[in-house]
Amino acid sequence: MNLLVIPKVFPRQSVIGGPILIHHRIKNLSKMGYRITVLAPASSDEEHTDRSLDAYCQDIVLIDSPRGRTPRQVKELEATLNRPPFFLSGDGGYNPQLDEAFRSLLAGNFYDAIIAEYSMMGQYLEGAKDIIPRDTMTIISVHECYTQAFRQRVSKGEDISEQAIEKLYDYEFRMYRSVDMVLSLTREDMEVLIRLAPDLKGKIGVVHHGVDTTFYRRPVEKSWNSKNILFLGNFQHYPNVNAVQNFMKHCWERISKEVPDAIFYAIGFAPPPELLALRSNRIIVREGGAHSNVRDAYWKSDVFVAPVELGGGFRGKMLEAMACGLPIVSTRLAAFGIDPVVGEEMFVTDDYNEFTGYVIRLLKDIRLRKNMSALARALSERFDHKNAAKKLDQVIQAYHRKQ
């Protein structure tokens, strides 16, 4: 089968988060016989020179991302395209050159399926719906429902008008209605989409992301004498910034008093000034996004915390931490899609007093830490990236059998 993948960012192997998850999808589908073309924005020289996908793709088309648009330029595009401003700037924001390249690929090639990875890229499928062949399956892989994310931000006190959210909803769900299949990463995210648009129920499915369990397996027995707490994420994504702030506000003071040798690490892309200002000898905030460096950070840690209150989707960092055998303390939102045995494979709570207590227990009780480490590692095997690719293949094959 010929497959066209349009991701929001180029999915090179060396980068954490969404890109590496998409990289695994492409790699495994290629090994299953798919002939894959990737059309992606490129925002750096590293992306133009990266060769990590070459062995798995028939073709890779990279289009330079537009530089930051001024508010006036965004307003002009909004009027021209009749799309909300959110879709016109930032990662994956509308790029006329990418749109032109997409239409050129459609004119010169046949694809059995086209997948827009991240809802942001669904705008290209919606905009070209009249020229996409009827026997080409169109898919939007929803990593996060933007309407839901904006409503979460309002619930936390952010000033976003109801009119802006309604405009976002209208366009976001117009995109979903324009394609053949909408894929969410978790059952909970699927339920959110159906609640917001019940008419979509028949075309929404769940295909979770996966993790390279072999890559993350610890090579040797670790020392259990340290007390390192880790949070990892892309800090260009605000829910990750908010998660660190939640931990510092609700958990750190008590942990630091009861476990005076505990150290908290917040590692990820582009930590903003408000996080850098937290740094001390026991609070380490630093840049980190390379795949191998991230693995090393997991291996040197003792407890992974996920005090996430915003956003949606399947958090790859949870799977990576599990694959490294890290005990996890998580909010319910961060654990969506994993369905752990709570209290055995993972601690899950939205009560920060309980959250803090679980972290302290794990730091003080080496036996508990070892037991939960082994169970977390075993649970991660269920989410190996090969299984996730097989599920996506089943979705595509089932669609074409019905045609």
pLDDT of 293 reads 73
Summarize the confidence of residues 309-326 as an average pLDDT: 84
- Position 145 pLDDT exceeds 80: yes
> In the structure encoding, which two tokens stand for residue 293, read together?
């460096």
Lowest-confidence region among 68-82, 279-293, 355-369: 279-293
How much is the average pLDDT of 364-384?
93
Q: Residues with Cβ < 8 Å from 57, sequence gap 6 or more? A: 26, 30, 36, 37, 38
Q: What is the pLDDT of residue 208?
A: 85
* 218-268 confidence digits (pLDDT tens): 877 777 889 999 999 889 888 999 999 999 999 999 999 999 999 999 998
The reported pLDDT for the residue numbered 211 is 85
**Whether residues 176 and 299 fall in one domain:** no
How many domains are there within the chain?
Answer: 2
pLDDT value for 284: 96
Task: Indicate the pTM of the whole model.
Answer: 0.83
For helices 316-323 and 18-31, the axis angle rounded to 10 degrees is: 70
Same domain, yes or no: 222 and 145: no
| Cβ(232)–Cβ(16) below 8 Å | yes
Sole residue written with tokens 């890779």: 60
Whether residue 359 sits in one domain with residue 266: yes
Q: What percent of the chain has a predicted confidence (pLDDT) above 90?
A: 72
Crossing angle of helices 291-299 and 316-323, rounded to 10°: 60
Mean pLDDT for the stretch of residues 168-195: 95
Note whether 41 and 154 are same-domain residues: yes
Please check whether residues 359 and 398 belong to one and the same domain: no
Dist. CA 376–CA 39, nearest whole Å:
36
- Which residue's entry shows tokens 């090969």? 386
Predicted pLDDT at 181: 98
Both 189 and 225 in a single domain?
no
* pLDDT confidence of residue 12: 84
- Same-domain pairing of 54 and 80: yes
Check: CB of residue 25 under 8 Å from CB of residue 15: no
Residue 188: give its domain's CATH number: 3.40.50.2000
What whole-number percentage of the chain has pLDDT above 70?
97
Report residue 313's pLDDT band, with 50, 70 and 90 as the boundaries: low
Region class of 148: left (phi > 0), else alpha (psi between -120 and 50), else beta: alpha
State the average pLDDT for the chain: 92
pLDDT, one tens digit per residue, over 31-72 is 999 999 999 999 888 888 989 999 999 999 999 988 778 899
Better pLDDT: 388 or 16: 388
Residue 186: pLDDT band (50, 70, 90) is: confident
Q: How confident is the model at residue 95 (pLDDT cuts 50, 70, 90)?
A: very high
Instruction: Check residue 215 and give its pLDDT.
Output: 86
Residues 227 and 268 in one domain: yes
Q: Confidence band (pLDDT; 50, 70, 90) for 383?
A: confident
Residues 182, 267: Cα–Cα separation, whole Å = 32
Contact 375, 344 (CB under 8 A): yes
Q: Which domain holds residue 234?
A: 214-383
Residues 377 and 323 sit within 8 Å (Cβ to Cβ): yes
Tell whether 395 and 351 lie within a shared domain.
no
Task: Say if residue 290's pLDDT is above 80.
Answer: no
pLDDT value of position 16:
65
Asked if 256 and 332 sit in the same domain, the reply is yes
Does one domain contain both 17 and 63?
Answer: yes
DSSP 15: B
362 and 388 both lie in a single domain: no
Residue 126 has pLDDT above 80, yes or no: yes
pLDDT tens string 10-35: 998 766 667 778 998 999 999 999 99
Give tens-digit pLDDT for 193-213: 999 999 999 999 999 878 888
DSSP secondary structure of 234-296: -TTSHHHHHHHHHHHHHTHHHHHHHSTT-EEEEEESS--HHHHTT--SSEEEEE--BHHHHHH
Would the pLDDT of 292 be above 60? no
